[in-house]
Amino acid sequence: MEAIIPAKQYEMLELGFIGPEPAGSRVQVDLCGRFTRGERTWTVPGFYAGNGTYRLRFLPEEAGEYGLTVTGSILDAPQTAKVVSAAAAAGRHGPVRAEGTHLRHADGTWFHGFGTTVYAMAHQSRALMEETFQSLENGPFNKIRMCVFPKHYVYNTNNPEFYPFQVKEGREEKSFDAAGLPLFPIEQPERDSYWDVHMPSYDFWDAFEDKLRRMEKLNIQVDLILFHPYDRWGFANLTQEDNLVYLDYLLRRFSAFPHLWWSLANEYDLVAARSLADWHEIEEFVAAHDPYHHLLGNHQCFLIYDPSRKNITHMSWQTKQLFRVGEMQRKYGKPVLIDECRYEGNIPEFFGNLSGQDMTRSFWKVTTQGGYCTHGETYLPGTPEGDAATATGEQDVVWWARGGILHGQSPARIGFLRGIIESLPGPLEPLGAGMSGILGMTDEEIRRSAVDLPEYLAPMLRTICSMERAERDGFFAVEFEYNGHCGDDAFLRYLDDQCCALTRMNLPENHSYRVEVIDTWEMTRETVLENASGLTEVRLPGKPWMAVLAVRTD
Amino acid sequence: MEAIIPAKQYEMLELGFIGPEPAGSRVQVDLCGRFTRGERTWTVPGFYAGNGTYRLRFLPEEAGEYGLTVTGSILDAPQTAKVVSAAAAAGRHGPVRAEGTHLRHADGTWFHGFGTTVYAMAHQSRALMEETFQSLENGPFNKIRMCVFPKHYVYNTNNPEFYPFQVKEGREEKSFDAAGLPLFPIEQPERDSYWDVHMPSYDFWDAFEDKLRRMEKLNIQVDLILFHPYDRWGFANLTQEDNLVYLDYLLRRFSAFPHLWWSLANEYDLVAARSLADWHEIEEFVAAHDPYHHLLGNHQCFLIYDPSRKNITHMSWQTKQLFRVGEMQRKYGKPVLIDECRYEGNIPEFFGNLSGQDMTRSFWKVTTQGGYCTHGETYLPGTPEGDAATATGEQDVVWWARGGILHGQSPARIGFLRGIIESLPGPLEPLGAGMSGILGMTDEEIRRSAVDLPEYLAPMLRTICSMERAERDGFFAVEFEYNGHCGDDAFLRYLDDQCCALTRMNLPENHSYRVEVIDTWEMTRETVLENASGLTEVRLPGKPWMAVLAVRTD
């Protein structure tokens, strides 16, 4: 009689096995589950979890019955079972995947991403991590970027409680002191194989996994950063062979989590020990060993990692050039995530001293174009704002690196924006209005667009065409206006720094719209027109950071 | 016995002659003064001023004696005289000219330009013009951009009291009604020679000249715009032959004013009737017919008019790319004037709805790099802010076009900045600090700069070098930091949107500095350090729009 194993759609199923400690590698263990349903098959390797236990994890994406055969040297014989997956529980939507330039859960629910960044979240004291979870629970974010490895960087030099691997046999334990080290070792140090990647430290992985489970409970997608250069322990300098062993273990353990995304790296191009060929190999390895095809991106400092690569599902872009979201959507046909665009804070470093107003502006700029923006908070330790970042009494706590208490002014506004976006009938697409439409156009496209203009304006477009391309792009970049739409159903104009007393929108003639004026900073919405259509004048208070939303009512 | 004519250095000398009305052209009249002093000679043509009077104007730039011979068909015989020029009166510094990338009066006084824009200033009612002069007298500006011809544009459609030329004989007088016309006729209309450029309207020129004299009294340099496209009267569509006749008269009358600059056009590239060859001819004509070589620029909408041309003394640039001032200084070796970068106001048009804060930011960005910025104010008529633009009761008064009352928030801050800049020992040069230094560098320059860096940062520069040039320039444009210096005597850092609690300056080790923290919006200055040198930490309040000034005290 075959065992019947109950499961739930979009929730990880975990099966446990008892066996002997693996003799060699504790990563490359021989345990495999073969799940079948109709024509489809999922082959998922198990992993060793320490203490004589093996685990096999599976994420059922369909409700119904699956056949299962488990094989492996720890079993006397192959075992079979039937897995019966119940339909998804309320609020369970399945993994997020790319659909065109947007993000959508497996069940079809649009995912409107509003991210934050706590790189070394999982490597902090328990008290600090509790504080971080509390902040996330009360905050507006539904995505977090966090690293697997501990992080060594300014304001963030603490050793973690656990390391992911054991020290190689015969090697003496080092003490990793932050003092006197450069910001991070960009130069390529010797690869000395201090860590034994075949010997995972289960305390590390259990504790890390606990963080992932808690994020899942909070409905927060985790963009898991697999590598990064900010390192003094040697994790940025493993051999490539060791990298793949590390990934093998990670993918066996984590792939069945529904809410994980893979970020190959943070600032991959600053990891001096890795060549581009290494990154391609890493990318291929992750894609080949993840049976569920989670989102897969790679975040750069300077050199964009080619988003047109087959395995890359979206552009994970560090940039301050927020007007280029639409351009990149057109170029790659994939979702554009602005995964670093300066943070709210007051540190001396350029990347981390935006006002709450300016962090909020970034979200509106990106979101209006149908892109996805990522927040960070960086208040200087030792200032009143910096010291408000934790109640644990710990020093040097900066949200962007370590978590703690979110006390900036942008999160409330990001939540306000999220509410508006989630009320729309679908994701936004950029709408090239005014001069913004010209940005990124070829000469030929500009000439074609002249056809729609009053004849007396055509010479102006000819003049524009005669600008050098770089000058033209630079010109229109700083004239950019932020307009998005969901087909004819909704039009959103973000006026950014324009303190207009009046704006004019060209709404479709054949529909009626309710027009709201939105103060993105004061978080107010006021309906100012009903049944508007065609060319519509909207009075505004002459303040910065206003938006106008027109939603179809017929 | 030779007449002795008293004159004053840097002030216009005017000699009058009575004669018959010119028989043909009232522009190309035969009257010429030849002024000599040592090896130098100035040959200046006279002009007909109407009513049987001819005038000859001269600007003595040196104190002392000049020989003068006047010839012309209106004289029975050549007349000679001695001109004795007294030394410059207090406050008279002579014409402004370019020196390297800076502006300097003839007597060596640096000119720190803080401009405003009132395009159709001279074509308004007398009451409105009085109001404008009052505003200028109380304002912070020492340069104005204004047009010779009347202007037809949104918020600015009134006919002037006077036209510069008489209507051609045999032509019926037109009524120039603004109603129903497009914004301005970008298309090339028929050139119908309605105006007789050989027949100046003296009322026009007398009234215009009165405005110039009053600007001189207010110590305001006039960047006189000779052509522009915003026209319904036909001045943008004169034949090229007529253009040169118009210029001939203007240059005969105006060249001897010490405080005039020539701006060939506003948005020259939108004047559909003119080819680039036409503009070159106009440029040559102005340069050849101005004996004093006043500053000469040409302002564009899209296509930069090549500032490397020999006659062009400075770059008069419409741009919002304010981080590029230093780049253009390096490229052309000439002063860079940002003669349009969006205005303070609340109109729907993108160019005119900046907050006072953002207009102030533009001035700080440009000025810190040693460039020169130009203000405008554009509050929407019919709103409380717009209606505050005049007390005359006139409608549609917007400062940028017509003048009136300056009531924006930026002028006070621009005055505050002007006070700081004028207290420095000399003009500022841009200082490439941080990432800003990389903007505009070639690969080779970046590689050379790597030599100065700690060795572990060199790989980062190699990564930067491998970025595509357009991507790299775009990247560093939005990372730009505003730093200027006067040699080792003063260092000015404008932090713009960076809300730092702390900044670090690398002051020379071998000098001592007084360090002030400046709140550019609140207009406060606080000395926070004395005798600072070397790497200096400066505490800041974590607010936007702060600046730090270090002035050498040893």
Q: Which residues in chain A have their CB less than 8 angstroms from residue B346's CB?
A: 499-502, 542
Handedness of CA B10, B11, B15, B20 (dihedral sign): positive
B22 phi and psi angles, rounded to 5 deg? -60, 140
| Residue closest to B474 by CA, chosen among B438, B425, B426 | B438
Q: What is the mean pLDDT of residues B386-409?
A: 96
pLDDT per residue as tens digits for the range B227-264: 999 999 999 999 999 999 999 999 999 999 999 999 99
A16 phi and psi angles, rounded to 5 deg? -110, 150
Q: Which residues in chain B have their CB less than 8 angstroms from residue A360's CB?
A: none
The confidence score (pLDDT) of residue B117 equals 98
The confidence score (pLDDT) of residue A473 equals 86
B176 touches chain A (CB under 8 A): no
A410 touches chain B (CB under 8 A): no
The helix (run of H) or strand (run of E) holding residue B202 is helix B202-217
By mean pLDDT, which of A137-146, A373-382, B175-184, B510-519 is the weakest? B175-184
Q: What is the mean pLDDT of residues B381-402?
A: 96
Task: Indicate the burial class of A4 (C-beta count within 10 angstroms; 0-12, 13-18, 19 or more).
Answer: exposed
The confidence score (pLDDT) of residue B188 equals 58
B38 touches chain A (CB under 8 A): no
Mutate to test the interface with B, among A346, A435, A503, A540 (most CBs of B within 10 A): A346
Handedness of CA B122, B127, B132, B133 (dihedral sign): positive
In B, minimum Cα distance to A319 occurs at B475
Q: Do A474 and B477 touch (CB under 8 A)?
A: yes
A409 touches chain B (CB under 8 A): no
Q: What is the DSSP string of B53-111?
A: EEEEEE---SSEEEEEEEEETTSSS-EEEEEEEEPPPTT----EEEETTEEEETTS-B-
The confidence score (pLDDT) of residue A2 equals 80
pLDDT per residue as tens digits for the range B273-321: 889 999 999 999 999 999 999 999 999 999 999 999 999 999 999 999 9
Q: In what order do the strands lie in the sheet with A31-37?
A: A3-8, A79-86, A64-72, A31-37, A40-45
Cα–chain center distance at B395? 28
CA atoms of B99 and A348, how far apart (whole Å): 36
Q: Which residues in chain A have their CB less than 8 angstroms from residue B182's CB?
A: 454, 456
For residue A94, which amino acid is it? G
pLDDT band for B442, please (50, 70, 90 cuts).
confident
Q: What is the DSSP letter of B159?
A: P
A281 touches chain B (CB under 8 A): no
**pTM value > 0.90:** yes
CA atoms of A284 and B227, how far apart (whole Å): 62
CA atoms of A259 and A213, how far apart (whole Å): 9
Which stretches within B430-512 are classed as H helix?
443-449, 458-465, 469-477
The confidence score (pLDDT) of residue A434 equals 59
Q: Which residues in chain A have their CB less than 8 angstroms from residue B517's CB?
A: none
pLDDT band for A272, please (50, 70, 90 cuts).
confident
Cross-strand bridge partners of residue A79: A70
pLDDT per residue as tens digits for the range B68-88: 999 999 999 999 999 999 999
Measure B219 CA to nearest chain A CA, in Å. Answer: 32
B454 touches chain A (CB under 8 A): yes
Query: Would you tell me which residues 65-104 of chain A have a C-beta closer than 8 angstroms to some C-beta of chain B?
Result: none
Measure B551 CA to nearest chain A CA, in Å. Answer: 21
CA atoms of A467 and A438, how far apart (whole Å): 12
Q: Which residues in chain B have their CB less than 8 angstroms from residue A544's CB?
A: 355, 358
A11 touches chain B (CB under 8 A): no
| Overall residue count recorded for chain B in this entry | 554
- Does residue B189 have a pLDDT over 90? no
Q: Do A501 and B457 touch (CB under 8 A)?
A: no
Q: What is the mean pLDDT of residues A458-475?
A: 84
| pLDDT: which is higher, B460 or A376 | A376
Handedness of CA B272, B278, B279, B283 (dihedral sign): negative
A38 touches chain B (CB under 8 A): no
Measure A422 CA to nearest chain B CA, in Å. Answer: 29
* E strands present in B387-512: 429-430, 482-486, 490-494, 502-506
Percent of chain A predicted with pLDDT > 90:
84
Q: Which of B303, B383, B434 sits opposite A463 (nearest CB)?
A: B303
Average pLDDT, whole number, for chain A? 94
- Does residue B2 have a pLDDT over 90? no
Q: Which residues in chain A have their CB less than 8 angstroms from residue B466's CB?
A: 303
| Residue closest to B478 by CA, chosen among A437, A490, A319, A482 | A319
CA atoms of A265 and A243, how far apart (whole Å): 12
pLDDT band for A455, please (50, 70, 90 cuts).
low
In A, minimum Cα distance to B347 occurs at A500
pLDDT per residue as tens digits for the range A480-503: 999 999 999 999 999 999 999 999
CA atoms of A172 and A65, how far apart (whole Å): 51
CA atoms of B150 and B266, how far apart (whole Å): 13
Task: Indicate the burial class of A436 (C-beta count within 10 angstroms; 0-12, 13-18, 19 or more).
Answer: buried
pLDDT band for A450, please (50, 70, 90 cuts).
low
Q: What is the mean pLDDT of residues B522-549?
A: 98
Residue A47's Cβ-side half-sphere holds a number of Cα atoms within 13 Å equal to: 26
What ipTM was predicted for this assembly?
0.94
Percent of chain B predicted with pLDDT > 70:
95
Structure tokens at A402: 């370590």
pLDDT per residue as tens digits for the range A234-256: 999 999 999 999 999 999 999 99
Mutate to test the interface with A, among B502, B504, B540 (most CBs of A within 10 A): B502
The confidence score (pLDDT) of residue B185 equals 65
